[in-house]
Amino acid sequence: MYDSLKEIEDLFALEDARLLALSDETRRKYLGDGVFLRGIIEFSNICDKRCAYCGISADNPGIERYHLSEEEVLKAVDHIASCDIKTVVLQSGETDSLDAEWLARIIKRIKDAHDMAVTVSVGEKSFETYKKWKDAGADRYLLKIETTDPEIYAGLHPGMSLDNRKRCLSDLKNLGYETGSGTLIGLPGQTLSDIAADIKYFNDSDFEMIGTGPFIPHLNTPLQYAKAGDVALVLRTIAVTRIVMKTVNMPATTAIGSLDRDFRDEALKWGANVLMPNFTPLPYKQLYDIYPGKRCITEPAGACAGCMEHLAAGAGRIIDRGRGNKAKRMKDEG
């Protein structure tokens, strides 16, 4: 069910109350009330890419660049472990200058010291590099496709190719990573059919995690005057993704927490089941400036960990302290 583009488009035609009820029913049936936590460390904002929406693009000379040392990363990981969180996400800009051995060593040291899942999110790399990190113990990888529409993709990503991004995602799946992708909602020119096609691609690819967030225009980018993504459409996209993909893990993204108000509780109600408290140490946290208005960037690292119970409770849910691997689902279960 919901395998075809037409069926997914039809879900987008449902009125809010019906869509919310269907998504909520699916979430309850397949996942229950638990919300998983992932502590994120943004270990570097150095980037070679020029994505038109992103504030840490190589084309933005206005920001100070940083790169945490191995010991700084491991200290932040200890902090996450001390908060009883069992996943760390290591994220950065995408750069050829990233030392793959350095990251492999960190992954191994984390796996040796903690009972923790490690998620990597550092962009497009070769099969060999992804394998090196998998062999070092990495469990999951996040690489959003951002949009599967070839024209929109090409317009936003100079010097990059949609085919290579898909190659990366397929390599990651083949290497046995729990693989995460996702869409930016509200990109200029993006239609409902485009978003439905993104969800079909995610479902066909059987990804374990999907991150859906609003596009938020950043002052120092070519898209500074573009309109921000509509929060209602983000919530509807989360709901449709839940209904189609059932057990997939979906964060209430920081971006959806960074609009005029924090909509992460709404995202949980519409089908999300993951929260990602930020453990990037100050002052670096402020320099990972991918979009403006990012939540809690002046708070010390890990301050958000305490807010998570509250946020989940606001959506009638509870924090699950487990690792939060993707729940299994038999293909014929519906």
Interaction site with ligand SAH (CB under 6 A): 53-54, 91, 93-94, 121-123, 143-144, 146, 184, 213, 215-216, 218, 255, 290-291
The first and second tokens of residue 310, run together, are 């509250």
Q: Which residue has the tokens 């998983």?
A: 36
Least distance from C-beta 37 to ligand SAH, angstroms? 18
φ/ψ (deg, to 5) at 149 = -75, 120
Q: How near is the Cβ of 54 to ligand SAH at its closest, in Å?
A: 4
Structure token pair of residue 278: 């930020």
Using the minimum distance from each CB to ligand SAH, give the nearer residue, 146 or 266: 146
Mapped onto helix, strand or coil, the DSSP state of residue 327 is coil
Q: From the CB of 226, what's the least distance to ligand SAH, in Å?
A: 9
Of 289 and 320, which has the nearer Cβ to ligand SAH?
289
* 246 vs 284, beta carbon nearer ligand SAH: 284
- By beta-carbon proximity to ligand SAH, the closer residue of 39 and 123 is 123
What strands lie across the sheet with 178-185, from one edge to the other?
Answer: 39-44, 87-92, 117-121, 140-142, 178-185, 209-214
Of 290 and 301, the one with the shorter C-beta distance to ligand SAH is 290
Smallest separation (angstroms) from ligand SAH to the CB of 182:
7
Closest approach of ligand SAH to the CB of residue 89, in Å: 10
Q: Please give the sequence-ordered ranges of beta strands (E in DSSP) within the chain, or none if there are none.
A: 34-37, 39-44, 87-92, 117-121, 140-142, 178-185, 209-214, 274-275, 318-320
- CB nearer to ligand SAH: give 218 or 317: 218
Distances from the Cα of 220 to the Cαs of 217, 275, 283, in angstroms?
Answer: 9, 28, 20
Q: CA 102 to CA 99: how far, in whole Å?
A: 5
Name the nearest CA neighbour of 13 among 206, 190, 195, 186.
Answer: 195
The residue among 122 and 305 lying less far from ligand SAH, judged by its C-beta, is 122
By C-alpha distance, which of 180, 217, 172, 212 is closest to 196? 212
What's the min distance (Å) between Cβ of 28 and ligand SAH? Answer: 28
User: Smallest distance, Å, CB 222 to ligand SAH?
Assistant: 11
